[in-house]
């Protein structure tokens, strides 16, 4: 296709840091580059503790372990999200309780949370779709009132903010992704952020196969032993070195992506005014990070027709997510509540090609193809 959906961006610094890591000679994790990356995130965004992981999926599984989620526990989250958000907690035997998205954007409808809370509810998981913040004031107030943990699925949220507070710094825990489709990438990769000081030690142990190896490496204990449940969530130093090569260019990457986002916004605004499509709704409190650009059509039929039309014009746009409450794995487990907004996003949302360096010509080609479909 003339305009692909995604193109991973290389800053040109990655190979230097990988060869540096090889030269230093520690290839396993938790070395020089792991710490450089973690320090970068902690200092820049005010995260209490950042721990690199092998993926965001792993960071979410680690979060469920850290919170000691058990069979019988209930975890509330949006149905309109990626599988990993729910799968991480289902793996620990939790009952997943899906909430609806709000009518204005795919984020969780904070007003729908409280009726879902029972005496078994342990955690709320929010997903900031497209790096656009959820209503975190409302979410944190509900959590405090019911003594629930909040986990931010911040997979899409590097350099995105709620008012002037970084996403990922608000919940007790937050999970980030460095998958190749995200703003900052190491191919596969992730990070767990721990903002609740009481959870840090358990997170370090669970990330290191249930051992206190992190404390041992710091010289805090004389030997390392099996002290809890865990698994292998630690990425190697080569992955961290690649990631650091990306972080060095974070501001350049973000500036470029925001420019691409504004190009789409500007050129598609006339179609929104005419009522053909809806463009992303960004609340006053959200400063997004141009992770993706989506639009909504009036119906699934129009959406599917538009995708075919775009493909015919060399534009690779995609739809997602298939709402999890209706998924083959979950449909029998769901309590049958209707989630009309989640259904609507599943049926009418399109993601446009989006990557660093998307040219003016290609953005114009995408927007002209969309315009020609409607007019």
Q: Is residue 239 part of the contact set for ligand PLP (CB under 6 A)?
A: no
Kind plus residue range of the DSSP H or E element containing 50: strand 49-53
Contact flags string 172-201 toward ligand PLP, x per CB under 6 A = -----x-x----------x-----------
Computed on alpha carbons and rounded to an integer, the radius of gyration of the chain in Å comes to 21
Q: Which residues between 258 and 297 bind ligand PLP (CB under 6 A)?
A: none
Per rule CB under 6 A, count of chain residues that contact ligand PLP: 14
Helices 56-66 & 200-207, crossing angle to 10 degrees?
A: 120
211 vs 239 by CB, closer to ligand PLP: 239
What's the closest the beta carbon of residue 84 comes to ligand PLP, in angstroms?
4
12 vs 187 by CB, closer to ligand PLP: 187
Q: Is residue 82 part of the contact set for ligand PLP (CB under 6 A)?
A: yes
Residue 295, burial from CB neighbour count under 10 angstroms (0-12, 13-18, 19+): buried
Cα–Cα distance, 158 to 251 (Å, whole number): 11
78: tokens are: 């949006």
Which of the stretches 29-37, 148-156, 246-254, 360-368 binds ligand PLP when contact is defined by CB under 6 A? Answer: 148-156
Cα–Cα distance, 125 to 137 (Å, whole number): 14
86 vs 365 by CB, closer to ligand PLP: 86
DSSP code of residue 116: G
Bridge-based pairing state of the strands 74-78 and 121-127: parallel
Contact flags string 18-57 toward ligand PLP, x per CB under 6 A = -------------------------------------xxx
Q: Is residue 156 part of the contact set for ligand PLP (CB under 6 A)?
A: yes
85 vs 211 by CB, closer to ligand PLP: 85
| Contact of 346 with 325, CB cutoff 8 Å | no
Cα–Cα distance, 191 to 53 (Å, whole number): 5
Give me the half-sphere count of Cα atoms (radius 13 Å) on the Cβ side of residue 296.
17
What's the closest the beta carbon of residue 215 comes to ligand PLP, in angstroms?
27
| Contact of 116 with 98, CB cutoff 8 Å | no
352 vs 369 by CB, closer to ligand PLP: 352
Cα–Cα distance, 88 to 194 (Å, whole number): 17
Q: Which residues between 122 and 141 bind ligand PLP (CB under 6 A)?
A: 127
Cα–Cα distance, 173 to 83 (Å, whole number): 18
Q: 167: which residues sit within 8 A by CB, 6+ positions away?
A: 128, 131, 133, 152, 154, 157, 160, 161, 174
Q: Is residue 348 part of the contact set for ligand PLP (CB under 6 A)?
A: no
What's the closest the beta carbon of residue 88 comes to ligand PLP, in angstroms?
9
151 vs 365 by CB, closer to ligand PLP: 151
Q: Is residue 107 part of the contact set for ligand PLP (CB under 6 A)?
A: no
Cα–Cα distance, 204 to 53 (Å, whole number): 11
Which of the stretches 79-87, 111-119, 251-259, 305-313 binds ligand PLP when contact is defined by CB under 6 A? Answer: 79-87
> Which parts of this chain interact with ligand PLP (CB under 6 A)?
55-57, 81-82, 84-85, 127, 153, 155-156, 177, 179, 190
């Amino acid at each position: 296709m003339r305009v692909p959906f995604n193109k991973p961006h290389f800053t040109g610094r990655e190979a230097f840091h990988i060869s540096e890591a090889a030269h230093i000679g520690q290839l396993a994790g938790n070395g020089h580059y792991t710490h450089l990356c973690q320090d970068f995130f902690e200092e820049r965004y005010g995260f209490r503790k950042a721990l690199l992981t092998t993926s965001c999926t792993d960071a979410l599984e680690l979060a469920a372990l850290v919170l000691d989620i058990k069979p019988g526990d209930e975890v509330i989250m949006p149905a309109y999200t990626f599988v990993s958000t729910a799968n991480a907690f289902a793996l620990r035997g939790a009952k997943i309780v899906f909430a609806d998205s709000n009518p204005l954007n795919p984020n969780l409808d904070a007003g729908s949370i409280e009726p879902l809370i029972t005496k078994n509810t342990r955690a709320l998981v929010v997903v900031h779709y497209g790096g656009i913040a959820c209503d975190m004031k409302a979410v944190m107030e509900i959590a405090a009132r019911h003594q629930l943990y909040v986990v931010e699925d911040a997979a899409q949220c590097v350099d995105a903010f709620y008012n002037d507070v970084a996403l990922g710094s608000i919940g007790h825990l937050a999970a980030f992704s460095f998958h190749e489709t995200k703003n900052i990438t190491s191919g596969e990769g992730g990070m767990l952020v721990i903002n609740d000081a009481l959870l840090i030690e358990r997170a370090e142990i669970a990330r290191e196969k249930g051992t206190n190896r992190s404390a041992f490496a710091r010289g805090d204990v004389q030997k390392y032993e099996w002290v809890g449940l865990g698994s292998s969530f630690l990425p190697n130093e080569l992955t961290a070195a690649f990631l650091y090569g990306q972080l060095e260019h974070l501001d350049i990457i973000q500036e470029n992506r925001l420019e691409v986002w504004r190009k789409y916004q500007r050129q598609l605004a006339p179609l929104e005014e005419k009522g053909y499509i809806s463009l992303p709704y960004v609340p006053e409190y959200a400063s997004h990070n141009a992770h993706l650009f989506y639009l909504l059509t009036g119906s699934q039929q129009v959406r599917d027709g538009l995708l075919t039309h775009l493909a015919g014009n060399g534009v690779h746009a995609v739809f997602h997510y298939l709402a999890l409450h209706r998924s083959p794995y979950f449909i029998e487990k769901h309590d049958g509540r209707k989630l009309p907004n989640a259904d609507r996003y599943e049926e009418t949302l399109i993601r446009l090609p989006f990557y660093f360096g998307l040219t003016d010509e290609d953005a114009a080609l995408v927007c002209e193809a969309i315009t020609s479909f409607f007019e």
